[in-house]
Amino acid sequence: MDVVVFGAGSLGSLVGGLCAREHDVTLVGRDPHVAAVRESGLTVTGAVELAVEPDARTTVPDHADLALVTVKSFDTQAAARALTDCDPEVVCSLQNGLGNEERLARTHDTVLAGTCTYGARLDGPGRVACTGVGEVVVGDPDGGPSTAAERVGSALRAADIDAQVSTRMARRRWEKLAVNAGVNPVTALAGVSNGALADDPLHEIATAAARETARVARENDVDLSDGKAVAALESVVETTAENHSSMLQDVRANNRTEVDAINGAVVARADEPAPVNRTLAGLVRGRTD
Ligand code: PAF
């Protein structure tokens, strides 16, 4: 299968590298990373070790069967536009936050929602570390059976990725949102790796954000219990204990964060006040150093 990974940062490079064990992969990202991959291949270290030679470019190729979108949520619209050049049969978002699939669906017919809990860190041009083996779940964004999702699930499993197909993607997306709503701002603000959230005082704050997100999910007719949201967060904290969350990496690099699509999205969709997510969002947005 021809797979294009649009957004070859840390997670995109890891997923693309794993896919390249079985498929013809093109990583689309920025120099100097993509130039290094083109010249010397991609090295994955850590929980998974491999060296692969995917194609790597700064623009999309002419053709793709599957596009995996791994750009930051605020770049989704630009990704959707750029991907029209290779007209992929299926576009699957593996991004954080809410609203990505809706944006991709404006320019692409078959769009899948996906969640990915692998931990990844870009160690330098051409080098990515797998800091936690997680799972990928794909499915129709609105739920129900999807032959496209079955095809993508099989393709990922063929590349030895722990991939499942879900017919209840709305709940999965909100469950992942609950994980990100707790893990990302708390690790970014406290300056700690994910594993530090296993204990108080950070455990209490992160789980409060996850519980509040589950409550907002239920306000949006998504059946996610507080217990499931907290269990999902605790499982990610354990399996990606060594990982620096994407928001911590963004804050440290002085890059724009995904707080609007994560905690901001929870607040925006809440019927009742959501003070935990509102406070965390405000603190992340208000940081000055
Ligand atoms: O954004 C992230 O960092 C990741 O989604 C996750 C799963 C929280 C792991 O760090």
Is any atom of ligand 1 closer than 6 Å to the C-beta of 146?
Answer: no
Output the pLDDT for position 289: 64
Q: What is the pLDDT of residues 205-231, one digit of tens each?
A: 999 999 999 999 999 999 999 999 999
Average confidence score pLDDT of the chain: 96
Spatial separation of the C-alpha atoms in residues 38 and 9, rounded to whole Å: 15
Output the pLDDT for position 268: 97
- This prediction has a pTM of 0.92
- pLDDT of 149 higher than 90: yes
Atom 10 in ligand 1: residue holding the nearest Cα: 245
Pairing mode, strands 119-124 and 111-116: unpaired
DSSP three-state, residue 123: strand
* Nearest of 1, 49, 3, 65 to residue 28 by alpha carbon: 3
- Provide φ and ψ at 244, rounded to 5°: -90, 120
Index of the ligand 1 atom closest to the CA of residue 248: 3
Q: What is the pLDDT of residues 11-22, one digit of tens each?
A: 999 999 999 999
DSSP three-state, residue 42: strand
Alpha carbon of 245 to ligand 1 centroid (Å): 5
Ligand 1, residues 236, 248, 263: which to mutate, most atoms within 8 A of Cβ? 236
CA torsion through residues 53, 47, 187, 225, sign: positive
* Nearest of 279, 274, 280, 284 to residue 214 by alpha carbon: 274
Q: What is the largest CA-CA distance in the chain?
A: 53
Q: Give per-residue burial for 150-189: e unless 16+ CB within 10 Å, then b.
A: ebbbebbeebebebebbeebbbbbbbbbbbbbbbbbbbbb
Token pair 């700064």 in the structure block, residue: 58
Pairing mode, strands 55-57 and 42-46: unpaired
Alpha carbon of 35 to ligand 1 centroid (Å): 26
Which pLDDT band, with edges at 50, 70 and 90, does 240 fall under? confident
Is any atom of ligand 1 closer than 6 Å to the C-beta of 243?
Answer: yes
DSSP three-state, residue 258: coil
Output the pLDDT for position 47: 92
- pLDDT of 288 higher than 80: no
Question: Please, which residues have CB within 8 angstroms of residue 240's CB and are 6 or more apart in sequence?
Answer: 117, 118, 119, 131, 132, 134, 194, 195
Contact indicator for 86, 128 with CB cutoff of 8 Å: no
Q: What is the pLDDT of residues 170-193, one digit of tens each?
A: 999 999 999 999 999 999 999 999
User: Which stretches within 193-239 are classed as H helix?
Assistant: 202-219, 226-239
Q: Of the residues 57, 103, 151, 176, which is catalytic?
A: 176
Is any atom of ligand 1 closer than 6 Å to the C-beta of 240?
Answer: yes
Index of the ligand 1 atom closest to the CA of residue 249: 3
Ligand 1, residues 246, 252, 255, 263: which to mutate, most atoms within 8 A of Cβ? 246
Query: Is 72 known to be catalytic?
Result: no
Alpha carbon of 259 to ligand 1 centroid (Å): 13
Q: From the CB of residue 110, how many other CB atoms can be counted at a distance below 10 Å?
A: 19
Output the pLDDT for position 117: 84
Alpha carbon of 236 to ligand 1 centroid (Å): 8
Q: What is the pLDDT of residues 246-263, one digit of tens each?
A: 999 999 999 999 999 999
Q: What is the pLDDT of residues 66-105, one digit of tens each?
A: 999 999 999 999 999 999 999 999 999 999 999 999 999 9
* Nearest of 26, 32, 18 to residue 54 by alpha carbon: 26
Token pair 């929870």 in the structure block, residue: 266
**CA separation, residue 182 to residues 24, 176, 210, 262 (Å):** 36, 10, 5, 9
